[in-house]
């Protein structure tokens, strides 16, 4: 049972500090603001509680931080209080203190309100200095009781002294654990920063930092999922061993991240002999035998030259990680930090956060609509919804840029939902005004799942739009990637009545065997071929052949990229059903669509050409 323990103005709760924070202490003696996380400390407190028969124990650091335990259990914090001078005196003294009866000591006798320990005020107090194995004094271990004592026996003094020694050893162990990775037994990133700072202050004006990334995060996680943590731990130890065999003698290797090592190289002319770096990459690309199972990794070696000024307030590990990430994507396997590339990635990260905010607020995002016309009649039969982002400082962000960012950052679900809600609501308004057109929506591969069917149905019902008025566009590569699973989702969408278009056909897999099994209704020939029709007979032949093939397979054929009258006239003579492009109309805001529809009731059509109209 925990004893109800009070304390007067001279004490304060566990983990709260009276003067300077524990973070101001040297590394060896730093303590958490919430608990003193020394290995075995709780056991030491219970031992001294039983050995001395005291209800209250406190560890008081010479910084003023105090940690309280009643009957061996930590006392929960109840707010900061002023630490009694007796405790600070004991914590900052190299000698033990013993007060057998507080009534004989004016420091405790006159405390108001009185210090309490268990059922009554503190009558007995003893402390023993706590120091590390290196002799660094960090505070005092204090014990208290509500009963006075005639003496503190020699065995009790020894028990208190031994407990203080154990705590000092625990502080050293805590420091060791705080600077050493338990898997590889290498110093980790805190030691790296300390040593790099010392190196730049004492030995050199600049330093070369090298980082070794074992594998991309997703691939490393795949190792763990497939083989378990024991396997990945053994892999890290094996990579560390090969890297240690490569780095110069007397150079320390640090384990600075779950999949990353770093070192400070003494060679000031590292890039004069790049064969050394090629050799490191070659070593790391050789298969590893981990627990009897061979594996090949995808290493990235990054290099960064840094001086003391750049270290102040900077993060060299972030910078060199930028280089090692780039190296993983390169055939050579190593790369030097590129400031321009880094700045671009930082800008992209900021853009991602701003895109997320824009999706929540909706003020900066807008939709433009590009008409599609029926080549037989010349009339507009559909519009394609295209997202636009008007950044407050950067201006118009290209759709290809922010859509790619959204895919990488996991925002496509939100972006697709925003486009569906906004565009379907707009279609409902146009239909109420008598415009009989359909709506085409682009959907990312990340959205092609069972949830898409439910979301699409809910949006259509919310705005009272028939699903036969909607068409979802997927790129050719998206549709060909997933085979059976993709076909199940697409079939569910078709069963709702919505159309399915294969976008950018001709730039992806062009797998005819898979194409004939897809429940698609429309095939859109990629604009790169259509734009080249005016100057390349090959492109015109490709468009004509693909159009004939698609028509014979039962698809409705749409040609994108119709940007000139010449191209428009050419596609009129092909097996194409619809056309879309700048010659017909540029993407426009929703407010401009009704006027455009009124002004372009019928463009030149196949029927008009056929009958000379």
CATH of the domain at 516: 3.20.20.450
Q: Per the domain annotation, does 253 fall within a domain?
A: yes
Task: Mark which of 179, 197, 220 sits at the end of a domain.
Answer: 179
Q: Per the domain annotation, does 1 fall within a domain?
A: no
573 and 440 inside one domain: yes
- Rounded alpha-carbon distances, angstroms, from residue 302 to 214, 259, 339: 11, 13, 13
Query: Taking the CB of residue 398, how many other CB atoms lie within 10 A of it?
Result: 10
380 and 315 inside one domain: no
Task: Mark which of 123, 145, 179 sits at the end of a domain.
Answer: 179
Q: How far apart are CA 576 and CA 524, in angstroms?
A: 10
Task: Please tell me the pTM assigned to this model.
Answer: 0.58
Q: Per the domain annotation, does 395 fall within a domain?
A: no
- Are the C-beta atoms of 163 and 40 separated by less than 8 Å? no
162 and 235 inside one domain: no
* Residues paired with residue 579 on neighbouring β-strands, in sequence order: 373, 559
3-state SS, residue 413: helix
CATH (domain of 154): 3.30.450.40
Q: Which of 387, 477, 396, 489 is nearest to 441 (CA)?
A: 387
Q: Per the domain annotation, does 262 fall within a domain?
A: yes
* Residues paired with residue 293 on neighbouring β-strands, in sequence order: 290
* Cis peptide bond N-terminal to 113, omega within 30: yes
161 and 235 inside one domain: no
Instruction: Spell out the residues 6+ positions from residue 56 whose beta carbon is closer than 8 angstroms to its own.
Output: 3, 5, 68, 69, 70, 117, 118, 122, 143, 144, 145
The pLDDT of residue 39 is 63
How confident is the chain (613 residues) per 10-residue block, as mean pLDDT? Answer: 30 32 28 49 88 90 79 68 76 90 80 66 91 77 92 93 88 69 82 84 77 86 84 90 91 91 80 86 93 89 84 79 89 90 80 87 90 93 95 89 86 92 96 94 85 92 94 81 75 92 73 74 89 84 90 92 91 92 95 93 64 46
193 and 327 inside one domain: yes
246 and 322 inside one domain: yes
The pLDDT of residue 317 is 86
40 and 131 inside one domain: yes
Domain ranges, residue 238: 189-337
* Residues paired with residue 208 on neighbouring β-strands, in sequence order: 265, 305
Q: Per the domain annotation, does 5 fall within a domain?
A: no
Task: Mark which of 179, 212, 244 sits at the end of a domain.
Answer: 179
Q: How far apart are CA 94 and CA 89, in angstroms?
A: 10
171 and 61 inside one domain: yes
* Residues paired with residue 561 on neighbouring β-strands, in sequence order: none
The pLDDT of residue 562 is 93
Q: Per the domain annotation, does 347 fall within a domain?
A: no
- What is the Cα Rg of the chain in Å? 36
The pLDDT of residue 422 is 95
Q: How far apart are CA 34 and CA 32, in angstroms?
A: 5
280 and 382 inside one domain: no
- Rounded alpha-carbon distances, angstroms, from residue 416 to 240, 395, 456, 482, 487: 44, 22, 10, 20, 20
- Are the C-beta atoms of 333 and 213 separated by less than 8 Å? no
The pLDDT of residue 315 is 83
3-state SS, residue 4: coil
The DSSP code for 269 is: T
Residue 189, Cβ density class (10 Å: 0-12 exposed, 13-18 middle, ≥19 buried)? middle
Q: Per the domain annotation, does 612 fall within a domain?
A: no
CATH (domain of 257): 3.30.70.270
201 and 305 inside one domain: yes
417 and 564 inside one domain: yes
375 and 491 inside one domain: yes
Number of domains in the chain: 3
Q: How far apart are CA 477 and CA 496, in angstroms?
A: 23
Q: Per the domain annotation, does 349 fall within a domain?
A: no
């Amino acid at each position: 049972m925990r004893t109800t323990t009070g304390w007067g103005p001279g004490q304060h709760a566990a983990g709260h500090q009276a003067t300077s924070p524990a973070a101001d202490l040297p590394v060896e003696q730093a303590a958490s603001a919430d608990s003193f996380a020394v290995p075995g400390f709780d056991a030491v407190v219970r031992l001294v509680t039983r050995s001395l028969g005291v209800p209250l124990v406190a560890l008081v650091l010479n910084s003023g931080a105090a940690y309280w335990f009643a009957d061996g259990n930590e006392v929960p914090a109840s707010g900061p209080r002023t630490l009694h001078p007796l405790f600070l005196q004991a914590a900052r003294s190299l000698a033990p203190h013993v007060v057998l009866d507080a009534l004989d000591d004016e420091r405790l006798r006159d405390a108001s309100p009185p210090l309490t320990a268990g059922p009554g005020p503190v009558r007995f107090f003893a402390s023993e200095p706590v120091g590390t194995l290196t002799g660094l004094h960090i505070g005092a271990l204090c014990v208290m009781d509500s009963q006075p004592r005639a003496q503190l026996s020699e065995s009790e003094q020894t028990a208190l002294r031994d407990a203080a020694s154990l705590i000092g050893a625990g502080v050293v162990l805590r420091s060791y654990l705080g600077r050493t990775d338990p898997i590889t037994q290498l110093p980790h990133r805190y030691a790296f920063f300390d040593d790099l700072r010392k190196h730049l202050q004492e030995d050199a004006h600049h330093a070369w930092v090298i980082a070794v990334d074992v594998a991309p995060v997703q691939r490393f996680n795949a190792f763990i999922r497939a083989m378990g943590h024991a396997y990945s731990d053994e892999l890290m130890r094996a990579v560390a061993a090969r890297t240690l065999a490569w780095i110069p003698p007397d150079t320390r290797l640090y384990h600075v991240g779950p999949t990353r090592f770093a070192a400070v190289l003494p060679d000031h002319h590292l890039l004069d002999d790049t064969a050394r770096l090629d050799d490191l990459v070659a070593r790391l690309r050789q298969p590893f035998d981990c627990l009897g199972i061979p594996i090949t990794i995808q290493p990235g070696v990054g290099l960064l030259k840094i001086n003391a000024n750049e270290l102040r307030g900077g993060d060299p590990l972030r910078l060199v990680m930028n280089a090692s990430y780039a190296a993983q994507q390169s055939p050579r396997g190593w790369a030097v930090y590129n400031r321009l590339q880094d700045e671009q990635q930082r800008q992209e990260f900021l853009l991602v956060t701003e895109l997320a905010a824009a999706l929540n607020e909706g003020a900066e995002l807008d939709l433009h609509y590009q008409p599609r016309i029926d080549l037989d009649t010349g009339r507009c039969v559909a519009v394609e919804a295209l997202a636009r982002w008007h950044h407050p400082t950067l201006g118009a962000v290209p759709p290809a840029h922010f859509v790619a960012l959204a895919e990488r950052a996991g925002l496509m679900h939100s972006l697709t939902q925003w486009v569906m809600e906004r565009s379907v609501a707009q279609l409902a308004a146009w239909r109420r005004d008598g415009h009989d057109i359909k709506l085409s929506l682009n959907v990312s591969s990340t959205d092609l799942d069972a949830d898409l069917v439910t979301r699409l149905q809910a949006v259509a019902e919310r705005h009272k739009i028939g699903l036969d008025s909607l068409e979802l566009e997927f790129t050719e590569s998206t549709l060909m990637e997933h085979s059976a699973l993709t076909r199940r989702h697409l079939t569910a969408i078709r069963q709702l009545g919505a159309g399915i278009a294969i976008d950018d056909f001709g730039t992806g897999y062009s797998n005819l065997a898979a194409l004939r099994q897809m429940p698609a209704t429309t095939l859109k020939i990629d604009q790169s071929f259509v734009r080249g029709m005016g100057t390349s007979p090959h492109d015109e032949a490709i468009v004509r052949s693909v159009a004939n093939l698609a028509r014979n397979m039962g698809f409705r054929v749409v040609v994108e990229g119709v940007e000139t009258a010449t191209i428009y006239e050419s596609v009129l003579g092909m097996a194409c059903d619809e056309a879309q492009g700048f010659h017909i109309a540029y993407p426009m805001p929703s407010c401009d669509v009704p006027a455009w529809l009124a002004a372009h009731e019928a463009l030149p059509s196949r029927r008009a050409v056929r009958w000379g109209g």
